[in-house]
Amino acid sequence: MIVVLSKTVSAHDKEMVRIYLKDRGFTIREQVFGAEEIIGALGKGVVDTRELGLLPGVERVAATSKPYELASRETQSEDTIITVGGASVSPVKIGGSRITVIAGPCAVESREQIRETAERVRESGAVILRGGAYKPRTSPYAFQGLGLKGLEFLKEAGEALNMPIVTEVVSPELVESMKDLTDMFQIGARNMQNFELLKKVGSVGRPVLLKRGAANTIEEWLMAAEYLLASGARDVALCERGIRTFETYTRNTLDISAIPVVKGLSHLPVLVDPSHAVGIRAKVSPAALAAIAAGADGLTVEVHPRPDAALSDGPQSLYPEQFEKLMRDIEALAPVVGKELLRTPLRNHPAFAISSIQDIREKTEKIAFCGESGAFAEQALVRVFGEDAPRLQVPSFQAVFDAVLDGSADAGVTPVENSLAGSVHENYDLFLRYPDIAIVGEVKLRITHCLIADERADIDNIAIVRSHPQGFAQCQDFLAKHPQWRLETFNNTAEAAASIAREGAFKVGAIAGAAAAKAFGLKVLKEGIETNPLNYTRFVALARKVGDKAPILPSLGSGAPNKASLVFSVSDEPGALFSCLQILSGRGINLSKLESRPIQGQPWQYLFYVDVSLPKDPGVFDAVVEELKAKARDFRFLGTYRAAG
């Protein structure tokens, strides 16, 4: 049983709650859990929960049906997002709408080996560096790790590349000497039920990656997490790494089903280690992608620059080139499951040189978006800036640009293109009207529409359906089955949902996302009602230029920008557009989008919107821009940024 205390509880009231529980046969464990202070009442005591809930200082009582009370979703319905790092390196979050990838060698073998590996995985997009300093091995003659010296090498590499590190701790005696050298402790599969180790690690307050034992049940795994939480740990992530079965074609059997099962039982984030699960290099990437498709919050992958020469687990370690391919595949898959691949800045990333918007993600006052809570634009904002990003709701797309320009918001998020409906021309035109605003990033969001309504409503008694015109257009087949419904248009889908909540209407439905239903306390009557499931919207993040350059947001890429957006017009003569495109082709620059738009006030004159992939040599692109300025008319540079998967 969990007793959640109010934020204003006095020391006296807290003590009275303790006494009340102890007198009734409970063992008490106190814990700060997320933003809440709680008292865990453990044991076989007997209490009237209604009477307990009325005690001064008690906000609520959560009586769970599970033995793992602190880890149970009955105790906390919202997903926990844990934070790793933050002292000498940028903090990394695990959980929520982003996929976090941990990578590195099985074991730290030398300073040079771990630094080389770190550089390669960082370049591909990993955000946490893994490596074993102490290695529990089946054979006493196998390589056991470099110990504290190896951990020092790991920490050195992590700090150089702005990556938190995670390493395995194998005994309680090592915890104190390791805690100041690592950002996250790993409890290995062999130690999952080493309860003294769990208690010791939990007591020092470091984030913990808890691997499932090779022969342990899901409940035993969650009970191990309970030991950590009950001992004081606040940031615990679970890691499925395969279980022992009768199958011999792989090292272990990856229990894919455990991912959705555990996420239903617990609020803790779940990662997957495909390397140990399959033990065969060629099978690691398919298993990793399957884990993401099943809902994993991240991966921990073994990578070695020369796996054949590795001192530990070489056969299951990816070559850096294989890891890079895996990361590209994850980027492509992430929008399908409603997530985004997490990236963090390098120390030499241009974002660290921004003077007037220094570290915009960490210090921003507001991020502007058009719509109400639960809008698709807000979901895109969360993908880009994180769940805890401060937000500014505005009534129109133009208001997003105004807020960024006048300083009401430091950044904004707005849609520019839908895979079915095409470009959002209003926003492209706004970039021309606001030359001081630049594109600084992008995200692709899968649009899944739902019919949502009041809790009392039933699909059979719906008479009116509200949504944005695009929402109606994208759900035509579903609406055709209900010709009796009257359709009412709103500025955006979330606003349509909000109107139902405000009016308390129970014969009115809205076409919007599931997030809007949650935001306004409505229920989903039917999910996935869009006609075409391949429905994606591309959103861009925008910010005010610093001088003549646009800032590069630290949250939008681990490496240099790889995409740019341009707009220009051409003279009315044969081959004018061809000449401009030939400049791009001649320099080997790939054109990913070309679209014409009428120039307002100039009939039969057109602007051309262009997206291009940036070459590795920035000088090449600079030369192209100068050539285009000379050849084209009304050339505008909209920004460089990191492309979405």
Tell me the catalytic residues. Answer: 537, 539
Calpha distance 481→461 (Å, rounded): 14
418, 445, 567, 595 from 423: Cα distances, Å: 6, 14, 14, 9
Dig out the tokens for 124 from the structure. Answer: 């591909």
Residue burial 386-398, b: 16+ Cβ < 10 Å; e: rest: beebebbbbeebb
HSE-CB of 234 using CA atoms within 13 angstroms: 16
> Do 580 and 594 meet the contact criterion of CB atoms below 8 Å apart?
no
**Looking at this protein, which amino acid is placed at residue 593?**
K
Pick the closest to residue 504 from 578, 557, 454, 438 (CA basis). 454
Q: Which is it for strands 563-569 and 633-641: parallel, antiparallel or unpaired?
A: antiparallel
Exposure of 119 in the CB half-sphere (CA atoms within 13 A): 8
Tokens at 183, concatenated: 């950002």
Report the candidate in 228, 317, 214, 227 with the shortest Cα–Cα distance to residue 258: 214
- Please give the DSSP secondary-structure letter assigned to residue 6: P
Any idea what the Cα angle at residue 417 is, between residues 539 and 534, rounded to 5°?
95
Do 212 and 221 meet the contact criterion of CB atoms below 8 Å apart?
A: yes
Question: Which whole-number Å values give the CA distances from 490 to 216, 392, 493, in the listed order?
Answer: 52, 20, 7
In the three-class reduction of DSSP (H, G, I as helix; E, B as strand; rest coil), residue 230 is classed as: helix
Structure-block tokens of residue 24:
């009734």
| Distance set, CA 479 to CA 472, 482, 486 (Å) | 8, 5, 10
Token representation of residue 115: 């630094």
Residue 351 DSSP one-character state: G
Nearest to 221 by CA among 257, 262, 252: 262
Ramachandran category for residue 279: left, alpha or beta (phi over 0 → left; psi -120 to 50 → alpha): left
Distance CA 113, CA 208 (A): 25
